[in-house]
């Protein structure tokens, strides 16, 4: 199995509900190594670039508001960005996260335990985890400068 890097974002619902530590703990327990970590004030540009593959979805405008913390009252758009490295890191992090739709996520996954669909119909699924190698490479580069990551 290849050694991979992957991007995790603790989204504004996760930081708002004090789940950052839990996310880090679960990723530690999955045997992944943290190689980058920072709080980020998410610009509109960064949000749109991050989610560009979903630009044609009806929920895209709300996705941008959500990742920028606008649903959670943050003035400074805070998200915790984490980069992890390890064997099969992408798959392991996705397994820790659980299914995209919190109603379908297995109990014991972060989304299964703590995600919700709000009364306004928005998915709040606590974290982002890169979905495949191409996405992971693009996303780690988008959120971290090379000098912000531990060397391989």
Residues annotated catalytic, as ranges: 128
Per-residue binding string, Mg ion, 101-140, x by CB under 5 A, is: ------------------------------x---------
Answer with the entry of Mg ion, ligand DAT, none that 113 interacts with (C-beta below 5 to 8 A by kind).
none
Pick the closer one to ligand DAT by CB: 35 or 67.
67
Q: Tokens 């709000």 — which residue?
A: 118
| Angle (nearest 5°) at CA 18 between 96 and 36 | 60
Judged by CB under 6 A, does residue 88 bind ligand DAT?
Answer: no
- Site residues (CB under 6 A) for ligand DAT, limited to 115-144: 123, 125, 128, 131
- Cα 6 from Cα 36, distance rounded (Å): 10
Tokens 């950052």, located at residue: 20
Each residue 49-68 as x (binds ligand DAT by CB under 6 A) or -, in order, gives: -----x----x---x-----
Q: Could you tell me if 11 and 82 are in contact, meaning their C-beta atoms sit under 8 angstroms apart?
A: no
Determine the distance from the C-alpha atom of residue 75 to the mean position of all C-alpha atoms in its chain, rounded to a whole number.
20
CA pair distance 134, 69, nearest whole angstrom: 26
* Residues at the site binding Mg ion, with contacts judged by CB under 5 A: 131
């Amino acid at each position: 199995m290849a050694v991979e890097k992957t991007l995790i974002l603790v989204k504004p619902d996760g930081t708002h509900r004090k789940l950052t530590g839990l996310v880090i703990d679960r990723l530690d327990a999955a045997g992944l190594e943290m190689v980058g970590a920072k709080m980020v004030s998410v610009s509109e540009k960064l949000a749109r670039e991050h989610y560009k593959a979903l630009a044609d979805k009806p929920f895209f405008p709300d996705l941008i508001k959500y990742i920028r913390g606008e649903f959670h009252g943050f003035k400074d758009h805070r998200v915790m960005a984490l980069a992890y490295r390890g064997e099969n890191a992408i798959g392991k992090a996705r397994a820790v996260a659980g299914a995209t739709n919190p109603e379908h996520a297995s109990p014991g996954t972060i989304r299964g335990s703590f995600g919700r669909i709000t009364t306004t119909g928005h998915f709040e699924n606590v974290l982002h985890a890169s979905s495949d190698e191409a996405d992971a490479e693009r996303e780690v580069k988008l959120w971290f400068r090379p000098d912000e990551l531990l060397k391989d």
